[in-house]
């Protein structure tokens, strides 16, 4: 079938979710998969389930993106900005290395860092990035299989 001269071909049907709230990770997943497979609740559940399966000794560190209150001096504003926080184990103790802290804050052993992560995830709008070596990433051994 031929088109009329000057007619534009119809664009392909492309699935595209637009930004709503701060759900860009969910929108990005669905846009890449070209269908609505993930909801905020499903994404949250996925984040919570691997938390108990993390093979923390294989993880070099964690970087969290968290909501952070905005203040002007002593005045706290009803605004939230995003803030990146590093967690790292040193000599068997996990530390919160938040750049806003005066000194690193000890979180304790694996249970302590898992509790910190659970609290951060429960507050919502938290992203967790794992920092692993190339070997660990290639083997996928940052998750326990038991």
Please identify which of the residues 27, 47, 83, 141 carries the catalytic annotation.
83
Please identify which of the residues 24, 47, 126, 141 carries the catalytic annotation.
24
The token pair that represents 121 in the structure block? 């995830």
Helices (H), the chain: 24-33, 40-53, 110-122, 134-139
24 is catalytic: yes
Instruction: Give me the domains of the chain, ranges plus CATH numbers.
Output: 39-139 (3.30.1490)
Rg of the chain in Å (alpha carbons): 21
| Distance in angstroms (rounded) separating the CA atoms of residues 37 and 52 | 24
- In angstroms, the Cα distances linking 29 to 15, 75, 122, 125 are 11, 38, 21, 16
As a whole number, mean pLDDT of residues 107-113 equals 95
Q: How much is the pLDDT for 37?
A: 76
Q: What is the pLDDT of residues 39-89, one digit of tens each?
A: 877 776 666 668 888 899 999 999 998 877 777 777 766 666 788 899 999
Model pTM greater than 0.75? no
- Does residue 96 contact residue 85 with C-beta atoms inside 8 Å? yes
83 is catalytic: yes
Q: What is the pLDDT of residues 68-79, one digit of tens each?
A: 777 777 776 666
Helices (H), 10-133: 24-33, 40-53, 110-122
The single residue listed with the structure tokens 């000194």 is: 103
What's the full length of the chain, in residues?
146
């Amino acid at each position: 079938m031929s088109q009329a001269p000057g007619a534009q071909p119809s664009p392909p049907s492309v699935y595209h979710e637009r930004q709503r709230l701060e759900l860009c990770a969910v929108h990005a997943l669905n846009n890449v998969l070209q269908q609505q497979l993930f909801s905020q609740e499903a994404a949250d559940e996925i984040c919570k389930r691997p938390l108990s399966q993390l093979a923390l000794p294989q993880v070099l560190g964690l970087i969290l993106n968290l909501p952070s209150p905005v203040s002007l001096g002593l005045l706290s504003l009803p605004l939230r900005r995003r803030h990146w926080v590093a967690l790292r184990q040193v000599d068997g103790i996990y530390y919160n290395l938040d750049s806003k802290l005066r000194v690193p804050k000890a979180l304790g052993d694996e249970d302590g860092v898992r509790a910190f992560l659970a609290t951060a995830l429960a507050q919502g709008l938290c992203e967790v990035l794992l920092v692993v070596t190339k070997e660990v990433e290639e083997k996928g051994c940052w998750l326990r299989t038991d």
